[in-house]
Amino acid sequence: MNYKAKSDAILPTIIVIFGITGDLSRRKLLSALWYLYNKGMLPKQFCIMGFSRRNLSVADLQKLVRSALGTGIISANKVQVQKFLDIFLYQQGDFDNIEDYRTLGKRIDNIEQNFGMRANRLFYLSVSPVHYEKIFQSLHDSLIVKSYCEKGKVWTHILVEKPFGRDTRTARILDEKLIEFFCEEEIYRIDHYLAKETVQNILSFRFSNPIFKSVWNREGIKKVHIELLETLGMEGRGVFYSDTGALRDVGQNHLLQLLAMVTMENPKKFDASHIRVKRSEILKRLLPMQDIAHNAVRGQYDDFVYEPGVTERSDAETYFKIRTFLDDPLWEGVPFILESGKRMDKNRTRITVYFRDMQQLPYPVTDKEKCHNTLTFEIKPEEGIEVSFLAKKQGFTHMLEQRTLHFSYHDNTTNDGLYAYERVLYDSIRGDQTLFTSTEEVHAAWRYITPILESWNKIPLEIYTSGTCGPDSRTSLDVDNT
């Protein structure tokens, strides 16, 4: 796809980043914007306006951007980096103060005057979700977005990070506020997992290769295991995490979206409206969890309560494993195991699809436990696909053993791959909502997760040693029950 040509065609655009000095902005957004800029993928007339509480000059903000980019990028691209820094502006403001929004509005009007025409406006909320409601309301009350909702040649897009609400009720309240001021086409709810190259590949792979088509259902698949395991701990996010827990942090969003990608029907048309509808349809079919003690395990790593910002009595889970099923004839009885944990012994995200075994094998297998047909979508740190199958063991024997076929994206992604946040930003500028979650999807996911959260205290919070595989009872969910 010729991204550059399309970007050149886009009208002047102003992106306002709320919370530009925050962690996400420094770790991901500023670098992602730099890469897009350097590849010529941003509109020709483009401006980045930081909005946050800190009292900074533009020079201070540029310093912060430089430190986010790092010395490697700066020394290799001196002239280009300077040009990039020149597109930054800064407005100090309190998220709760309407006057600060009015000032922001005036500055945006001035920028447009300099552009010589009205500009597209993109508002990126890189702030704690507690500020969302206030920001939606103030953008409206200060008239920054009002006239834009009426549409014209230019657009307004609002980007919100997860978690969107903390349960069904709060997500609904937040949505009511959002929908009051923005229409669905203007709302971009970010789930950066959808923007990962290898996650996008799931649909391409499933719907382009006939070899797996006839077995991609309950007849051919006996179990699917979706895991997001991290060696990292809190990394300064103790306050957020002890209020949120792992199930809200990555279960309600990333893992359920991965489940949707593996099980959704063929959308026939691969555009935002069709794909989002198919994802939401499958999320609506998640069967409410019946017996939580039998289908869920939750844990906390041993030194979690000593992390900065975490209270000594915090019962937030840093690990969970749940078994879920779909109310869908195609998937009836197939367990989907969703597992995630912090401070684990490994750092990996992947989806393993276990196919049903042959009723009868021609020869004995070397290791019964390990001899199955599986297909693994590797998402992190490896990016690729692995298929394992049975083959004759070499030599004067008739034993069967497990072998693998492996495909890796690595060579392609290191050079010119679009990182998830580049993709998120690029698509939101282009106006493609495919990789963003719709209202329907968010609510369907909360409808499934909320009752589990409400029953969390019915199961023990198991303390596990940092750097291990998690709580001992996690293996109880691996037993095949089909």
Give whichever of 28 and 107 is closer to ligand BG6, judged by the CB atom.
28
Given 157, 254, 372, 443, the catalytic residue: 254
Which of the 8 DSSP states describes residue 286? B
Q: Tell me whether the omega of the peptide bond preceding residue 471 falls within 30 degrees of 0, making it cis.
A: no
Residue 344 within binding range of ligand BG6, rule CB under 6 A: no
Does 54 interact with ligand BG6 (rule: CB under 6 A)?
no
339 contributes a contact to ligand BG6 by CB under 6 A: no
Pick the closest to residue 193 from 364, 26, 435 (CA basis).
435
Residue window 295-334: x/- pattern of binding to ligand BG6, with contact defined by CB under 6 A: ----------------------------------------
Of 473, 480, 470, whose CA–CA distance to 227 is shortest? 470
Which residue of 198, 300, 324, 349 would you call a contact of ligand BG6, by CB under 6 A? Answer: 349
Q: What per-residue string of b and e applies to 25-34 under the rule 16 or more CB within 10 Å gives b?
A: bbebbbbbbb
The interface with ligand BG6 within residues 373-432 (CB under 6 A) comprises 380
Residues 239-298, interacting with ligand BG6 (CB under 6 A): 249-250
CA 380 – CA 170 distance, rounded (Å): 31
CA distance linking residue 337 with residue 11, whole number of Å = 45
Is residue 226 within 8 A of residue 337, CB to CB? The reply is yes
Applying CB under 6 A, the site for ligand BG6 has a residue count of: 5
Shortest distance in whole angstroms from residue 251 CB to ligand BG6: 11
From 112, 227, 230, 328, residue interacting with ligand BG6 (rule: CB under 6 A)? 230
User: Is 254 among the residues known to form the active site?
Assistant: yes
* Cβ distance to ligand BG6 smaller for residue 250 or 260: 250
Nearer to ligand BG6, 155 or 426 (CB): 426
- Rounded to a whole number of angstroms, the minimum distance from the CB of residue 249 to ligand BG6 is 5
Using alpha carbons, select from 77, 179, 201, 85 the residue that is nearest to residue 132: 179
- Between 47 and 310, whose beta carbon lies closer to ligand BG6? 310
Contacts of residue 273, Cβ cutoff 8 Å, sequence gap at least 6: none
Say how far apart CA 473 and CA 353 lie, in whole Å. Answer: 22
Residues found near ligand BG6 in the complex (CB under 6 A): 230, 249-250, 349, 380
- Residues marked active site are found at 254
